[in-house]
């Protein structure tokens, strides 16, 4: 794509670079002296020097070829070493849920190593379902420590694209449908990873919300939607967590590929947000040397060509030498790469790290336990008491299928994986007779398998059907979207038959997002949403089913009744999956519960929903205006009590509704939450601050965030549709903040 204003853009970079780049920085490779021969201790190797001084010193020593080598890959997941200057190879690795196995340098085949196992954490949407920033911190901690041990410098995650449609094949990797929830988690995740001198790479920037035609689709949306829905999680990653790397998305945004997108990368990310780190391409997301040179890309990865033919390799060097691109553009990219390297102490020696420790296993289990959402529990059917059971029929392929290795780039070669069946067997021991029936087959006639499962259910005290998706295309896997929300392979019918044979049937859903449940939900007394629980998932599930832990997960995304009810679906093909190469986000701001609330559509299970084995009472709401009306504007205070007989955790949620906005706003928006652990009978006073931005919307006319002088209704509750307290807060003064 041709950009008439590229020259102006470069002009800015040149002006900046002239201030800092010493003359003679670009030397012929042949002249470059070895740092060892020089026998000195240069500034860039001196850990006591400020990062920027080290960056400038190192930059000044690099030849043109060396600089070029730092802005593109030299294998699937590395950039070249510069031995002359003691710069090691930089290693990157997927992914969001653990450190991926190594692949061959030049192909996607596994390298076949024996030292590239890792802890497999629950998937991103499961982390989001914990609604617990401390869980995100523990999660990031595991990734950081294991990345160190595996010698990785940059971890390609977290993935934070919002759930626009439940069909997106990668929803499992991401953090749900709400920017505030995802932001609070992502900030803790990234801080924890980066505390270990490992850079996080938040991805995919931006609007990569479907897999269908992901390499070419052009996304069009209005500026308010971009700012209020799709950018805030990235913004929090940059401004609050100081993430060191950002991965561009595959798709186009407003006509320009995201990895070369002047608006997203230069203007928003680097200029407005002041991002000092590096932008890398998604693997194969770079398309043009000139566009990449000017469009804000700092590191090209994964292009399907010989490395010297990458867009930012020989062609870039030649163009620089011919004066087609200013050297300052290269220096800016190199500076960003060096900054990340030096700030994460790659040149100073990093700690050794650790892998698959007891603490890591415990973190994986804890996140899985806190993530599982109890959707239904009539009776109550759960928890089960093993002392009162003699037999359990476990049914369904998902009870035994390994999930850790699914999902494509997010796959993990796990040290071990406790399946739901394993977890149940370990928990109940020999005292209960546990049978397992597959129930269905992915290919071929399953009637015999179903009949056997039904027979097992009939003769057991309780049936546990572990149903769901496969984590293979097109069911929760990179590279393809789901076709619909249905359970595949006849599982609906299987569940119907099982519950008919044994009314004491529990359905456990293993999936990265909602599935339709109409065929059986009214007959099944208990349903647990288990996500993909990582290598401790089966243990976590068993502990939840048998009451060792009390469910505390809440849905981070709406579970609609049917696909027809979902926001992206309503706009027809032009809205999803796109027409003539373009996809228009016609639903605008109304993503997730914002849609269901505003359009008064009843979801199957609402955002924020999740049951517990105990009960909680909310009381005594107070809205305490800030003494300094800036920070925070108001503190939401209320009492939360555990009124049941078990300890448990409640996620108290605060939503804000503006009563008379001058622009249309979603009916309400999540602006605060707290996960509170309470003993039976215990009561706590909870305080949640609301900053000014909690009241604001993005005003495109003003180019900034604006809160109006108006009455705001503060809604407090247990889910987006179970609001227990409310109060009105008149915002004392209008507020306008630049981006
Ligand atoms: C994915 C990225 C991933 C990269 C490297 C791409 O296909 O979109 O999320 O980090 O591959 O495996």
Query: Per residue in 116-156, pLDDT tens?
Result: 999 999 999 999 999 999 999 999 999 999 999 999 999 99
CA quadruple 369, 375, 380, 384: dihedral, nearest 10: -30
Same domain, 541 and 681: no
507-538 residue pLDDT tens:
999 999 999 999 999 999 999 999 999 999 99
Q: Is residue 45 part of a domain?
A: yes
Same domain, 542 and 691: no
Answer left, alpha or beta for residue 183, where phi above 0 means left and psi between -120 and 50 means alpha: alpha
Q: Which atom of ligand 1 is nearest to the CA of 250?
A: 8
Q: Is residue 608 part of a domain?
A: no
661-720 residue pLDDT tens:
999 999 999 999 999 999 999 999 999 999 999 999 999 999 999 999 999 999 999 999
197-221 residue pLDDT tens:
999 999 999 999 999 999 999 999 9
Same domain, 564 and 636: no
What is the model's pLDDT at position 444?
74
For ligand 1, atom 4, the nearest C-alpha belongs to: 283
Residue that is last in its domain, among 507, 539, 570: 570
The response to whether residue 145 sits with its C-beta less than 6 Å from ligand 1 reads no
Same domain, 104 and 27: yes
Distance 409 CA to ligand 1 centre (A): 6
Averaged pLDDT, 591-605: 98
The response to whether residue 294 sits with its C-beta less than 6 Å from ligand 1 reads no
What is the model's pLDDT at position 36?
58
The response to whether residue 408 sits with its C-beta less than 6 Å from ligand 1 reads no
- Give the span between the Cα atoms of 599 and 177, in whole angstroms: 17
User: Can you give the three-state secondary structure of 270-315, one letter per residue?
Assistant: HHHCCCCCEEECCCCCCCCHHHHHHCCCCEECCCCCCHHHCCCCHH
Q: Which residues contact 408 (CB under 8 A, 6 or more apart)?
A: 477, 478, 479
Q: Is residue 594 part of a domain?
A: no
Residue that is last in its domain, among 500, 535, 570: 570
Same domain, 88 and 138: yes
Q: Is residue 358 part of a domain?
A: no
Same domain, 43 and 191: yes
What is the model's pLDDT at position 38?
56
Q: At residue 14, does pLDDT exceed 50?
A: no
Q: Is residue 600 part of a domain?
A: no
Which residues are marked as active site? 282
Same domain, 523 and 634: no
Q: Which atom of ligand 1 is nearest to the CA of 100?
A: 12
Same domain, 77 and 224: yes
Secondary element (H or E) of residue 370: helix 358-371
- Give the span between the Cα atoms of 86 and 65, in whole angstroms: 16
Q: Is residue 602 part of a domain?
A: no
* Dihedral angle sign, alpha carbons of residues 11, 15, 16, 20: positive
Distance 109 CA to ligand 1 centre (A): 15
**Could you tell me the CATH number of the domain that includes residue 674?**
2.60.40.10
Confidence of residue 15 (pLDDT cuts 50, 70, 90): very low
What is the model's pLDDT at position 39?
62
**Could you tell me the CATH number of the domain that includes residue 141?**
3.20.20.300
Q: Is residue 361 part of a domain?
A: no
Confidence of residue 273 (pLDDT cuts 50, 70, 90): very high
Residue that is last in its domain, among 510, 535, 570: 570
Mutate to test the pocket of ligand 1, among 156, 170, 279, 412 (most ligand atoms within 8 A of CB): 156
279-313 residue pLDDT tens:
999 999 999 999 999 999 999 999 999 999 999 99
Domain that holds residue 702: 614-736
Same domain, 437 and 320: no
How far from 103 is each of 96, 204, 389, 411, CA to CA, in Å? Answer: 17, 21, 47, 12
Same domain, 338 and 423: no
Which alpha helices (H) appear in 571-647, and where do they start and end? 593-598
Same domain, 376 and 332: no
Same domain, 561 and 639: no
How many domains does the chain divide into? 3
Q: Is residue 357 part of a domain?
A: no
The response to whether residue 100 sits with its C-beta less than 6 Å from ligand 1 reads no
């Amino acid at each position: 794509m041709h950009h008439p204003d590229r020259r102006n853009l470069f002009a800015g970079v040149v002006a900046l670079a002239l201030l800092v780049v010493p003359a003679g920085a670009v030397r012929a490779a042949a002249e470059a002296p070895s740092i060892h021969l020089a026998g000195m201790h240069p500034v860039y190797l001196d850990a006591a020097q400020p990062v920027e001084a080290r960056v400038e010193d190192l930059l000044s020593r690099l030849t043109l070829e060396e600089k070029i080598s730092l802005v593109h890959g030299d294998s699937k997941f590395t950039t070249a070493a510069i031995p002359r200057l003691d710069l090691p190879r930089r290693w990157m690795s997927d992914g969001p849920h653990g450190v991926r196995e190594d692949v061959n340098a030049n192909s996607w085949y596994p390298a076949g190593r024996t030292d590239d196992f890792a802890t497999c954490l629950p998937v991103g949407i499961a982390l989001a379902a914990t609604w617990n920033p401390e869980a995100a911190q523990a999660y990031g901690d595991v990734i950081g420590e294991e990345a160190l041990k595996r010698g990785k410098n940059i971890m390609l995650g977290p993935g934070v694209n919002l759930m626009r449609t439940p069909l997106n094949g990668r929803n499992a990797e991401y953090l749900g449908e709400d920017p505030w929830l995802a932001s609070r988690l992502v900030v803790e995740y990234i801080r924890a990873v980066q505390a270990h001198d490992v850079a996080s790479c938040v991805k995919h920037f931006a609007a990569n919300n479907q897999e269908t035609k992901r390499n070419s689709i052009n996304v069009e949306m209005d500026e308010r939607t971009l700012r209020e829905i799709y950018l805030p999680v990235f913004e929090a990653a940059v401004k609050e967590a100081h993430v060191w790397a950002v991965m561009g998305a595959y798709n186009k945004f407003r006509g320009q590929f995201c990895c070369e997108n002047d608006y997203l990368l230069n203007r928003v990310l680097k200029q407005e947000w002041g991002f000092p780190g590096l932008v890398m391409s998604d693997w194969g997301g770079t398309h043009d040397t000139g566009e990449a040179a000017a469009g804000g890309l700092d590191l090209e990865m994964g292009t399907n060509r010989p490395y010297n033919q990458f867009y930012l390799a020989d062609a870039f060097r030649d163009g620089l030498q011919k004066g087609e691109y200013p050297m300052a553009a290269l220096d800016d990219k190199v500076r960003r790469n060096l900054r990340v390297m030096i700030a994460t102490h790659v040149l100073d020696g990093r700690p050794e790290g650790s892998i698959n420790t007891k603490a890591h296993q415990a973190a994986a289990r804890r996140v899985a336990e806190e993530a599982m959402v109890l959707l239904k529990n009539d009776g109550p059917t759960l928890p089960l008491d093993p002392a009162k059971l003699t037999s359990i029929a476990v049914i369904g392929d998902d009870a035994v299928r390994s999930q850790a290795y699914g999902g494509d780039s997010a796959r993990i070669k796990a040290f071990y994986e406790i399946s739901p069946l394993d977890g149940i067997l370990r928990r109940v021991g020999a005292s209960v007779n546990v049978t397992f029936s597959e129930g269905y087959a992915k290919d071929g006639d399953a009637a015999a398998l179903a009949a056997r499962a039904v027979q097992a259910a009939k003769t057991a005290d309780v049936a546990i059907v572990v149903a769901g998706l496969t984590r293979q295309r097109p069911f929760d896997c990179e590279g393809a979207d789901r076709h619909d929300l249905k359970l595949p392979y006849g599982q609906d019918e299987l569940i119907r038959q099982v519950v008919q044979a044994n009314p004491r049937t529990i359905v456990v859903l293993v999936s990265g997002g909602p599935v339709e449940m109409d065929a059986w939900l009214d007959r099944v007394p208990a349903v647990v949403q288990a996500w993909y629980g990582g290598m401790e998932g089966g243990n976590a599930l068993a502990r939840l089913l048998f009451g060792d832990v009390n469910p505390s997960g809440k849905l981070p995304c709406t579970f609609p009744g049917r696909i027809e009810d979902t926001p992206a679906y309503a706009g027809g093909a032009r809205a999803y999956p796109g027409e003539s190469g373009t996809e228009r986000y016609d639903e605008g701001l109304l993503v997730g519960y914002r849609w269901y609330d505003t359009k008064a559509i009843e979801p199957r299970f609402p955002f924020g929903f999740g049951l517990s084995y105990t009960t909680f009472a909310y009381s005594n709401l107070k809205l305490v205006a800030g003494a300094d009306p800036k920070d925070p504007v108001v503190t939401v205070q209320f009492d939360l009590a555990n009124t049941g007989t078990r300890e448990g955790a409640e996620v108290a949620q605060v939503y804000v509704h503006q009563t008379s906005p001058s622009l249309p706003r979603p009916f309400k928006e999540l602006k605060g939450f707290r996960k509170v652990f309470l003993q039976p009978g215990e009561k706590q006073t909870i305080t949640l601050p609301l900053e000014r931005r909690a009241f604001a919307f993005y005003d495109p006319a003003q180019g900034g965030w604006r809160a109006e002088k108006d009455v705001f209704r503060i809604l407090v509750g247990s889910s987006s549709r179970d609001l227990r307290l409310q109060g009105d807060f008149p915002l004392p003064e209008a507020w306008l903040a630049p981006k």
